[in-house]
Amino acid sequence: MRAKILIVDDESAIRQMVCLALSQSSYDCIEAADTAEAQAKILADMPDLILLDWMLPGLSGVEYSRRLRREKLTRDIPIIMLTARTEETDKVTGLDSGADDYITKPFSTREMLSRIKALLRRTAPHAAESPVEIGGLTLDPVTHRVSARGQHLELGPTEFRLLQFFMTHPERVHSRERLLDSVWGNNVYVEERTVDVHIRRLRKILTATGHDRLIQTVRGAGYRFSMQE
């Protein structure tokens, strides 16, 4: 089944260029010029991924990304932010708004397709059985093994699930409540401070290979798993 990609950009030339590249790579393309049209297209035909321009008329791409993440229907749709902004602070703002990845304009269609493929691979249902590798740290959900630069790491069941969630949802800030729902399940009562305990345990295990630095504390917000060592 062909994946459906929604491109939200007010520049028709960019939409045409993107849709041509997507169709040639066996993706279905849906177009929207602003967030109102994008919302209508989402409700009519749920996309597998959204390419979202930062600067849009009316509601900005950043604000729309936050809105998508707040709504149950759309909170799990992968989002790649498109923007001409190149400052690191802009990138952080885009990712913290809920975007999964970030591409600066002008960009090559080859780079765009590569990022789409990687993101869909991480978020597609079958990805739950595929090994995930970030910064030399590898997690295999089938064999339940974690290794770093050839060294096997022993993780408890909860630490394993926590690391798996982090590695499949990198560069986003996750609140303790979100981590509880995603790792422990929303039908289990666990205090939020329990998250901190397991984060400390996971960091201690990853210290041996220096990967504890990938788990970042975001003061007042939660935790982020960075893709940069």
Q: What is the 3-state secondary structure (H, E, C) of 2-33?
A: CCEEEEECCCHHHHHHHHHHHHHCCCEEEEEC
pLDDT number for residue 124: 57
Residue 165, class by beta-carbon neighbours within 10 Å (0-12 exposed, 13-18 middle, 19+ buried)?
middle
Backbone angles phi, psi at 83, to 5 degrees: -160, 155
CATH of the domain at 66: 3.40.50.2300
The reply to whether 26 and 110 lie within a common domain is yes
Q: Which domain holds residue 98?
A: 4-127
Model confidence pLDDT, tens digit, residues 25-67? 888 899 999 999 999 999 888 888 999 998 899 898 999 999 9
Give yes or no for a contact between 36 and 60, defined as CB atoms under 8 angstroms apart.
no
Model confidence pLDDT, tens digit, residues 112-121? 998 888 788 7
Give yes or no for a contact between 83 and 94, defined as CB atoms under 8 angstroms apart.
yes
pLDDT number for residue 126: 46
Band the pLDDT of 229: cuts 50, 70, 90.
low
CA 208 to chain centroid, in Å, comes to 27
Model confidence pLDDT, tens digit, residues 56-67? 998 989 999 999
Choose the final residue of a domain: 91, 106, 127. Answer: 127
Domain count, the chain: 2
Regarding beta strands 49-53 and 4-8, do their DSSP bridges make them parallel or antiparallel, or are they unpaired?
A: parallel
The reply to whether 11 and 96 lie within a common domain is yes
Amino acid symbol at 133: E
Model confidence pLDDT, tens digit, residues 125-177? 544 466 888 888 999 888 889 999 889 999 988 899 899 989 988 888 888 88
